[in-house]
Structure 1
């Protein structure tokens, strides 16, 4: 956006009253400095010299300031013209209409009465015409100037403090404290057109189709209204972080050619009571004035959380008041204007039901993690700015990044460019992208980390155990590579390549649990004891087994029962949806599943101990081994016929793994760093 456009939009004849206050303050300060500069510098004088001058008739006037015990001495004109005082005579010329005559000398006396008595005595003895004047303190002038100084000081504090608060709350410079209830939404119109279009949004074909229809209605409403249709009043974009919800909203702003108000749900929240509801009213008032218009509220769960769920808040909860006002503005009396509300959240399960009903958010648009073809399209968008080598293929990269969101893919491309630049390459090659994926999933490689040979051998057998069990089980995810080079918080890692899967069977989940427990099983089989290095493995299998028993109903003892609450109604509840007896049964069944698969993994490793030793020895020698090394030791992997077409996708269907960061964690089996910390 050019600066010229911004200058043209700025009002020409704006006047800020603060200029008046500033001008008055400058005048007063200038007057004070001018008055001080016009005053003649006064020279000090001792008491005896003063009475000597008085006796000689040099003194014309004496002023005694009673409050300060200070004496001002004014010499006669004849004295000033004499040789003795000629050097101070020009200073007397400063006396004019703007300033009173200045004294030539001044001194402090200890006792006013004694000084005045001695003065009168000399005056009478010498028959002098010198006048004596007692100057009482000017209380009014002093109080006036003190009050004026404090008023100016507090006016400055008010301006600097409350104007900033008002400006922050009111959405821009010049706002006052009274504008705190104004909307903080940023307006995008013809003067600030967004340059993102639907062509810049790769993948998300279903979501794009729905929001494009809203844009079409705003551009050509007769196409829909002639058949009796009505435009949806709201559309809610729901999906994991990084999937492109905000990008879709930007594309709508760029395509719709109508005023677009953008703000976050937290912009309504304030420490003052009633501010949130006031901002909602002001937002919709501005949108109605510019109708047709679109309002986009990002992270709407900040104010849209279900009411009455928090038992610790009173009936005057500020968030609830804000939500009530939002509900009224979206579908209440007087809502016949064309104002469409777009909102985005990754926590739709906690939103209030009244907000989700038809008439407010008519459309619930799911923006899911991209599939293989969608990841390919996203890679093609982010690969355009890069200088690529001939071996880079978007389809290959898409297959290497299952579970990655659009934001993750953008990060991979950027990291690959940084890796290539670090190696002083002229182009970004395929290996740079693979290194970038490893960096994002496992963390930074730590080649200089000191590990004892005994611990390194244990880590090698741990990772070899994962690889061996996973290779021998038909439903486990296919292995990519195994490494014992420390990376991030892990001392070793086994990379798998799970592919998308829509459903998961009991056998597939059990194989995955056994493969995950293969590391600890190898430690017990080889060394006869176990270590703390399997912390992340235990955490993962505990979640998987718990989900099998209490969520998916894959346990024969409990049967076809699920205690999962997809609506989030029990988020603030203190009671469990099952009895204590059932809780004991769940704990028992989860333990049986994990221990059973642990024994199964140990049996596989005992049967193939010679191959396990070969794999661990190769790991110690090379530190990184790939799928080809396992084929050399174990032969070609036997997979299930159903899995030959579509490989297992790990925990892709588990609700525990709805967060993309956790989905990425399922690609890698990490060891806890605690093992080294304990022994060192």
Structure 2
């Protein structure tokens, strides 16, 4: 009894001591304020001083509150970025029926679409949704279009943002932006059952934090640095915690357990999707399983894909029914779906309207594709005739060598018109393989080298001396020679092919041999070179069919008659 009484008395004493101290401190404040009030009551000077002091304190409090509100409002405003939201039923919604040219990708993504559309069966089986899909590929191949089509096909909302939108001059704003973006995606997912949160150019926010593979380090500027990784860290946190219960779900779970019931499983999910043309620059933590679980490469479409894309976009515009689709397919091995779309639905329609037609023709599309590949026309109004003749012989040499040395390639166009995408080039010959090339014999690389040298050699033959204008051709020749060197074309495999000066003698001898062969070829077919050059001087721009017609007529010794475009009748695409 005595032992238990002592701790009890000690606790009572501590409570009384703390209470006495509390009342003592409050008493001092009460007495002090009361005395000050009485002093102010009897002394008007003290009263005025207290009023001034109180006014200053209120003004200071107002100023501090105003600054805090402004600061919070500024950060709130900066944390908002431009996003695109497409909900089910939106006129901008697209489905896989609108995504052409990538049948294998469509078959692949249908599995995840079925999971997003039929969530209940998947959850009942105990399945776990994937957190993210990364789309990688060159610009314009349809990565964003594919993400939108997945959302539209599954009947769920789509929210997207640019990766560069997360950058800010203030430290911490990128984190707020990421929290706001993911919060908006969660809200849409709870409303519709699922949502796709898409970050375009995700390498702008997800670059490697180690300063390697294109990553950035945090700079010394602190609050005003551009190199922070806060948005990336927050994205990783959000992707890891996307399956964790929210506060409301935890409260609802407790209520269910109090009622003796099992809490229902979550019936919504956020699927993160990102797009990049630099997957090697992404942080390894971002692309591991559990975050971006799948990486899908969206490459240029093959021949069958381009045919489907061209037919799809032709169906949306009024066009000539006699358009040669196979010719367009053969001419666009270099083109992305975005460039084909722009050429048919924008540039070709513009060209047709300015030519007084309400439908597009084969020539309109060909000119539009040239604009996409080479840029807009930028002709030289007054060029010295001798200089123009030199350019004509240069391009004619390329065309004739292309015709004889690379018969598996199709000449698309030969032109003396300068283009905006080719700075420094006064003309060009555009060609494309007739079939898709995935692997080629080394002799084909040699033929490409000879075609590149043909313009320079033709100038020497027909103008009597070498001229400038072949620097781009020589760069292509050097790259091809280094490739041949690396692949063992010269009979050995160098340990350091990046040091070509060690093999200078072999390279010079090979270069001279190629020039000699090209010169013999062009002298043998001098009539064709002369004919193509004269046609270019007269017309300035020739289609591939016109170039071939000129070469074959000159070879047969017949008069050159360029084909005249046949007027066409319109056809509605819809």
TM-score norm. by structure 1 comes to: 0.60
Partner of 2:322: 391
Is 1:629 aligned to 2:530, yes or no?
no
Deviations 1:567-604 (A, max 9, x none): xxxxxxxxxxx598x45337776666555433332232
State how 1:254-273 maps to structure 2 within 5 Å.
Answer: 254-273=152-171
C-alpha distance in 2, partners of 1:260/1:391?
39
Deviations 1:485-504 (A, max 9, x none): 44445422223232321112
C-alpha distance in 2, partners of 1:445/1:322?
43
Partner of 1:351: 282
Q: Is the 8 A contact 1:477 1:512 kept in 2?
A: no
Q: Tell me, what secondary structure is at the counterpart of 2:433?
A: coil
State how 1:57-206 maps to structure 2 within 5 Å.
Answer: 163=73, 166-171=76-81, 187-189=85-87, 194-206=92-104
Partner of 2:150: 252
Q: 1:475 to 1:386 in 2, by over 3 A?
A: closer
Q: Tell me, what secondary structure is at the counterpart of 1:293?
A: strand
- The match for 2:517 among 592, 597, 600 is 600
Deviations 1:26-56 (A, max 9, x none): xxxxxxxxxxxxxxxxxxxxxxxxxxxxxxx
- The match for 2:200 among 294, 298, 308 is 298
- The match for 1:274 among 163, 169, 172 is 172
Give the count of matched residue pairs. Answer: 468
Deviations 1:293-331 (A, max 9, x none): 322111111122223235983588844343333334334
Is 1:234 aligned to 2:132, yes or no?
yes
**How far did 1:343 drift?**
0.8
Q: Larger RCO: Structure 1 or Structure 2 (Cα < 8 Å, ≥ 6 residues apart)?
A: 2
Q: Is the 8 A contact 2:401 2:522 kept in 1?
A: yes
C-alpha distance in 1, partners of 2:497/2:318?
61
- Structure 1 window deviating more from structure 2 (377-386 vs 283-292): it is 283-292
Partner of 2:38: none
Q: Is the 8 A contact 1:233 1:341 kept in 2?
A: yes
Between structures 1 and 2, the one with greater helix share: 2
C-alpha distance in 2, partners of 1:152/1:331?
42
Is 1:451 aligned to 2:383, yes or no?
yes
Structure 2 runs not aligned, ≥5 long: 1-50, 221-225, 246-265, 558-574
CA RMSD of aligned residues (A): 4.1
Q: Tell me, what secondary structure is at the counterpart of 1:495?
A: strand
State how 1:552-591 maps to structure 2 within 5 Å.
Answer: 553-556=487-490, 559=493, 582=499, 584-585=501-502
C-alpha distance in 1, partners of 2:121/2:347?
46
TM-score norm. by structure 2 comes to: 0.70
Deviations 1:60-109 (A, max 9, x none): xxxxxxxxxxxxxxxxxxxxxxxxxxxxxxxxxxxxxxxxxxxxxxxxxx
C-alpha distance in 2, partners of 1:557/1:512?
20
Partner of 2:472: 536
Partner of 1:466: 398
Q: 1:153 to 1:535 in 2, by over 3 A?
A: farther
Q: Is the 8 A contact 1:476 1:512 kept in 2?
A: no
Deviations 1:386-410 (A, max 9, x none): 2212322434332332211111111
C-alpha distance in 1, partners of 2:296/2:481?
32
Q: Tell me, what secondary structure is at the counterpart of 1:263?
A: strand
Partner of 1:46: none
- The match for 1:435 among 361, 367, 380 is 367
Partner of 2:460: 524
Structure 1 runs not aligned, ≥5 long: 1-140, 172-183, 562-577, 637-680
Q: Is the 8 A contact 1:187 1:262 kept in 2?
A: yes
Deviations 1:408-455 (A, max 9, x none): 111111211111110111322222222222333333445662111211
